[in-house]
Each structure stands twice: as C-alpha cells, then as structure tokens.
Amino acid sequence: MITVIGSLKGGSGKSTVTFNLAVWLAMADVKVQLIDIDPQATLTDVGDVRMEEGFDPPLKVLDKSALTPERLAAADETLIDVGTSDMEAMRRALQYCDRVVVPVPPSQADIWSTQRYIHLIASAERAKAPTVFGFINRGDTHHAVRETDEAAAALVSLPGIKFIKARLGQRTVFRRSFSEGLAVFELEPRGKAAKEFLSLAAALYPYLVS
C-alpha cells in the first residue's frame, strides 16, 4: 500500500509521523520504503541520524526520483512524506497513492487548510480519488482545554475525510525523536506518546495487529 502523509501546512507533524511509522513497520518485518519529496528533507536527515547512530533497523530514505510505478511497487508498504514547496512532486505522489493521511493540529486554521487539501486531493488526475484519513496531532494534554475536542468534532464533520480517533498529544518526546533518530516508542516505551502513537499505527495498519 502506498500512503502519502500530507497537509498544506508545515509543522503539522508529517515527517514526525512518517518517521515513527517507518520504524514501527520495519520492526513488524514489513518491507517498507520511504520517499521524501519535501525539499526541506527532514525525513532524509532523521534517517541519516539513525543510520549514523547505528540503530536497528536502519531506514533508507529515497528522493523524489523514486516516484515511478515500478519503484513504488518494490515494497509492501511505501510512505511518502510530502512538503508544500514542491507542488509538482506532491501532485505526482497523489496520482500514485492508495491513501493520504493528514495530521491536523487542533486549530481553526488547520481545519480550513485540511478542507482545502481535501479539495486538492480530489482534483488529482485519476479515475478514483485516494481515501483521505485525518487525525489530531499536537492535541492539548490538559483536560480543561476544549479546543482539541472542538477541532476533532470539526474534523469529523468535514466531507471527504475519514476521521481516525487515535490522537497524538503535544509531547516533547516527539521533538527528541528527531534529534536522536529514535521512534517515541523506542525512547520512552512506557510513555503516553508511545501509547498514543501505537494506537494510531494500529488504526492505520489493522492487518498487522489482528
């Protein structure tokens, strides 16, 4: 399956989620390939950190030249991390993928931009549009704050997107994940971020867990 992790906004957590999912899939012995089509190349950088540190399994990250049907067919699971500064590559990825996963921070602006992104995906030149999934990333971890639930409710009601209940909170270990080249469930296996992330992974890859 070919999964694009995308959104129209920087900082929503695309590279973070892609990297953590990649480690998880590799640990599940899935033949996974990673394609970084964001010129910022965050995923490539974190893959390099992981490789330099010698962590197992290593992750090899391909560039946009791998966006060909032959190359995409070379793995069981492909994850494509997209940015918005290369719209041509984004459109190409949207043409080939089976689904798009959108991390949505809990703000009105992010709900609006998700709506625009759904329209952009629907306008991709292909017979059948890919399925779009959305989940809340960087959710508020204080119960008193309602914004996150309100954003989740707004996301549920957006046409054209399937809502995933599993939610990632705003947690510092996600930042460490990048700097150390380790997934959050490797860094803090018993932490809340790990628990939340593993629920998300199970929701996205149910066939691997049951």
Binding site for ligand ADP (CB under 6 A): 10-16, 42, 137-138, 168, 170-171, 174-175, 178
- Residue with smallest beta-carbon separation from Mg ion: 15
- What, of ligand ADP, Mg ion, none, does residue 175 touch, CB below 5 to 8 Å by kind? ligand ADP
What is the smallest separation between the CB atom of 139 and ligand ADP, expressed in angstroms?
A: 8
Q: Which two tokens stand for residue 203?
A: 């929701």
- Cβ of 79: how many Cβ atoms within 10 Å? 26
Identity of the residue, 86 or 144, whose beta carbon is nearer to Mg ion in the bound complex: 86
Sign of the alpha-carbon torsion through 94, 170, 39, 180:
negative
Sequence-ordered list of residues with C-beta below 8 angstroms from that of 107, at least 6 positions apart, any chain: 147, 151
Helices (H), the chain: 14-27, 42-53, 69-72, 87-96, 108-122, 147-156, 173-180, 184-187, 192-204, 206-209
Residues in region 4-63 near Mg ion by CB under 5 A? 14-15, 42
Identity of the residue, 43 or 118, whose beta carbon is nearer to Mg ion in the bound complex: 43
Q: Which two tokens stand for residue 101?
A: 């996963």
What is the smallest separation between the CB atom of 41 and Mg ion, expressed in angstroms?
A: 9
- What, of Mg ion, ligand ADP, none, does residue 57 touch, CB below 5 to 8 Å by kind? none
User: Distance from CA of residue 96 to its chain's centroid?
Assistant: 16
What is the smallest separation between the CB atom of 10 and ligand ADP, expressed in angstroms?
A: 4
How many residues sit close enough to Mg ion to count as binding (CB under 5 A)?
Answer: 3
Identity of the residue, 39 or 189, whose beta carbon is nearer to Mg ion in the bound complex: 39
What is the smallest separation between the CB atom of 60 and ligand ADP, expressed in angstroms?
A: 19
Identity of the residue, 14 or 167, whose beta carbon is nearer to Mg ion in the bound complex: 14
Sequence-ordered list of residues with C-beta below 8 angstroms from that of 47, at least 6 positions apart, any chain: 19, 34, 36, 58, 59, 60, 61
Catalog residues that contact Mg ion under the rule CB under 5 A: 14-15, 42
